[in-house]
Amino acid sequence: MSATPALPEQGLSWLLAREGEIGFRVSAARAAQRAWALVPVAERAERLAKAGDALISRMDEIVAVIREENGKREVEALGHEVGGAVGAVRWTCANAPRLLAAEAAPVTWLPHRKPVIERVPLGVCVVISPWNFPVSIPLGQIVAGLVAGNAVLLKPSEWSPRCGALVVDLFRDCGLPADLLQLVQGDGRVGAALIDAKPEKVFFTGSLVTGRKVMAACAQFPIPVSLELGGIDALIVCDDADLELASSAALWGATMNGGQVCASVERILVDERVVDAFMGRLRAKAERLDPSDVGPCSMPLQSKVWERHLADANKRGLNVAKYGAVSLIDGPGVEASDVYRDETFGPIAAIATFRGDDDAARLHNDTDFGLTASVFSADVDRAERLAKRLDAGLVSINDVAATMHAFAELPWGGKGSSGFGRSHGEDGLREFTMPRVIDRPRGGIPGFKRPWWYPYDGDQVELIRAFVTIVGDRHTGRRVRSAGKLLTAFASMMRRSPRL
C-alpha cells in the first residue's frame, strides 16, 4: 500500500502504512514523546482541550462522515459518538492534573524516609480501534494517552478509515510535537507490524478471536496490553419488575446501533412467573419498530455470524420470531444455542427463564463473558443485591446500557472473555501510566548507619524483633514492652558504631 502525503499541520502524521515503515514511525514517536513528557500535565490538558472545541465546531461534519462510512442513525452518531467523545475530552482534561499528581506515601517501617508515588507516562502507546464506534472509542483513548504524556499511534479499523483520519485531524490545533500523534491505516498485518515494533503498550478493542492474537503477539516481547473484547450481556427481568419499562429497555438494548455494540442485550433472562406478560409486550413493540431506526449491518462479514446463529437456532427447533430487523429466539434448550453462548453482534436476542434471584444469578454467570448487565425490579435494594452477584464490570438497575462507554467518568471494561484493563475514569487514565516511587530522606534526620546493615549481631536481632512487635502486635502491653527493648538495642548499637 502506498503512503499518502503527511498533513501539513504541526503535530500530525498521516500514513497509509507500508509494513516496513512502522519501525521508523514508532522511533519517531518515541523521540517526540521524550519532549512531550517534560510538558506539565496542566499544560498538556490545556492544549488537548482544543480537540473538544473541534468536536463541537465540526459536529455536523463528523456526524456526516460517521453516517456515510458506518451507517449509524443520526441520533446515535450524535449521542454515542460525538457526545461520548466530547465528554471524554472535557472530563480527562479537567481531571488529569489532579489524578496524575504525585502522592505522598508514608511507610510505617521507614519513618525517616519520605517516599512519593509519581504517575509517569509509558512511552509509545498503540491504539487499535474498532469499526462500530470509530470516533468515540479511539478519541477517548488518544486523549488519555496524550494527557498522560505518551505518544500515540492510532490504527483504526480498515472498515472505517475515514473516521480514523478524522479523529486524528481533530487534534490539528492542539500544538502537539511532530510525530507525537500518528495515524496508521491498514489491516491486521499492519497491526501485527505495530506490535513487532515494540511499543510500550497496546490498547485493543475488537473481537475475542482477534484479541487473542493481539495478546499472543504482545506476549513475545512482552508488551502489556489492554483488551476490550465484547460480551453477550444480559438483561434480567425480576418478577416484580415494571414490564412496560423492562420490555422497552430490552428492545432498545438489543437493537441500538444495529445490535453492533459490545454492551448490547444479547440475552434476556425473565422470571418464569412474568415471562408471558413480558413477552407479549416485547413482541408487540418489536412489531411496531421502524426497521430504519435499527440501522444497517456496518460490516458485511458480520452478517455471516447472524446467519450462522439463526441457522443453529432453527436446527435446534427453537422459536425464531423475526420482526423486521429484529429476531427474538426462545424455547427449551436455548441456553445451549450459539446465539445464547456466543457474541452475535447484531439485532438478535435469546430469551431464557429463571425462578428467583439465585437462579437468575446462576443463569447470568453461566458464560465466559462479563462486560455489562441490567437488572429490573421494583425493589431497588433487591436489584442491587442481585447486581453484586453478577460477573460483570458494569451493572445498570432499571435501565439498560446506562453505564456504557459514552460516560467518561466511569471505568469501562469487563472480565473473562470480555477482556481486561479499563477505559475512562481514573482507572482508564492510569492505564496509560506507570507508578514510579521517588524515596528521599526527611529533612533534619542525621545520617546514622541503618540498624539492619552489616555487621549482623544480637542487638540488631532484638531491635528488629521489637520493631515488628510494635508495628504488628495488637496487644498494647507487648507493644509498650517492645518499645523499651527497641530503645535499649538501638542505644547499644550506636555506642559501638554511631556513624557510617
Q: Is residue 419 part of a domain?
A: no
Q: Which of 163, 174, 238, 262 is catalytic?
A: 262
Query: Do 405 and 486 lie in a common domain?
Result: no
Q: Which of 69, 76, 200, 228 is catalytic?
A: 228
The per-residue b/e assignment along 242-255, b for 16 or more CB within 10 angstroms, e otherwise, is: ebebbbebbbbbbb
Return d(Cα 471, Cα 111) in angstroms, integer: 12
> Residue 254 belongs to a domain with what CATH number?
3.40.309.10
Query: Do 102 and 224 lie in a common domain?
Result: yes
What pLDDT does 445 receive?
Answer: 63
Which of 147, 223, 221 lies closest to 180, judged by CA? 147
Q: Is residue 402 part of a domain?
A: yes
Query: Do 368 and 394 lie in a common domain?
Result: yes
**With contact defined as beta carbons under 8 Å apart, do 405 and 83 qualify?**
no
Domain around 58: 12-229+425-436
Query: Do 221 and 244 lie in a common domain?
Result: no
> Residue 86 belongs to a domain with what CATH number?
3.40.605.10
pLDDT in tens, 341-365: 999 999 999 999 999 999 999 999 9
What pLDDT does 494 receive?
Answer: 77
Query: Do 30 and 113 lie in a common domain?
Result: yes
Query: Do 119 and 182 lie in a common domain?
Result: yes
What pLDDT does 4 receive?
Answer: 32
Query: Do 431 and 410 lie in a common domain?
Result: no
Q: Is residue 420 part of a domain?
A: no
What pLDDT does 492 receive?
Answer: 85
Query: Do 325 and 220 lie in a common domain?
Result: no
Taking 50 as the pLDDT cut, the residues of the chain under it are 1-11, 13-17, 500
Query: Do 166 and 252 lie in a common domain?
Result: no
Return d(Cα 497, Cα 495) in angstroms, integer: 6
Query: Do 86 and 19 lie in a common domain?
Result: yes
Return d(Cα 343, Cα 267) in angstroms, integer: 10
Query: Do 266 and 208 lie in a common domain?
Result: no
**Burial label, 184 (beta-carbon count in 10 A; 0-12, 13-18, 19+):** buried
Q: Is residue 4 part of a domain?
A: no
Task: Enter the pTM of the model.
Answer: 0.91
Query: Do 210 and 293 lie in a common domain?
Result: no
When divided into structural domains, the chain yields a total of: 3
What pLDDT does 401 receive?
Answer: 83
Among 387, 402, 436, the domain-final residue is: 436
Q: Is 228 a catalytic residue?
A: yes
pLDDT in tens, 268-296: 999 999 999 999 999 999 999 998 898 88
What pLDDT does 402 receive?
Answer: 72
What pLDDT does 168 receive?
Answer: 97
Q: Is 46 a catalytic residue?
A: no
